[in-house]
Amino acid sequence: MRIAILTAPEGVEEIELTEPWKAVERAGWNPRLVSTEPGRVRAFNHLDKAGTFAVDHVLAGASSEAFDALVLPGGVANPDALRMDARAVGFIRSFFEAGKPVAAICHAPWTLVEADVVRGRTLTSWPSLATDIRNAGGTWVDESVRVCHAAPATLITSRKPDDLPDFCTAFVKEFGAAGQAAA
């Protein structure tokens, strides 16, 4: 399975990129870093600069058709930049339209709000997004991980880096189930 991990060129929370990446690899799948610009993305540890990571696919040339699922890491600046990019918003929306599972952690649900895909869904996030999610028609819950099977696509969400073990376990299970159903 090919798993897209979408980030802006700068501002992704490093551990929310690297831990899901490792979980995808441990599952035997192929993680691919997708960004709005070519080159490398700059990660952060909260507000401090951290490592850089090579971009595998530039959003302009990427399509949800090339992937089986999508992971949206957080950080504050990362989803804030992505929600202002029409290509990124369209890319995210296309996974839902295709019925492909999506996983989002921390502030990443901001992009889901922008893509208008939270209406009628129950999800979690960093607590400061609760009002945004409710205003977009979603139900916000304070849980380490929430799996929402509302049609047409499964959505797996989590609150923060401390929840990464639960988040990774849940999305690997859901992505695997979706992959078996598609086979």
Catalytic residue chosen out of the listed positions 57, 107, 148, 168? 107
Catalytic residue chosen out of the listed positions 57, 106, 148, 168? 106
Q: Which of 124, 122, 115, 120 is nearest to 167 (CA)?
A: 124
- Burial class for 154, CB neighbours closer than 10 Å (0-12, 13-18, 19+): buried
Active-site annotation holds for 107: yes
Torsion angle of the four alpha carbons 179, 3, 61, 36, in this order, in degrees rounded to the nearest 10? 140
Maximum pairwise Cα distance, the chain? 43
Q: Which of 175, 162, 3 is nearest to 74 (CA)?
A: 162
Q: Give CA angle at 102 (111, 23), nearest 5°.
A: 115
Q: Where are the beta strands (DSSP E) in 15-151?
A: 30-35, 40-45, 48-54, 57-58, 69-72, 102-105, 122-123, 139-140, 145-148
Active-site annotation holds for 46: no
Q: Are residues 138 and 156 in contact, defined by beta-carbon separation less than 8 angstroms?
A: no
DSSP 144: S
Report the catalytic residues: 106-107
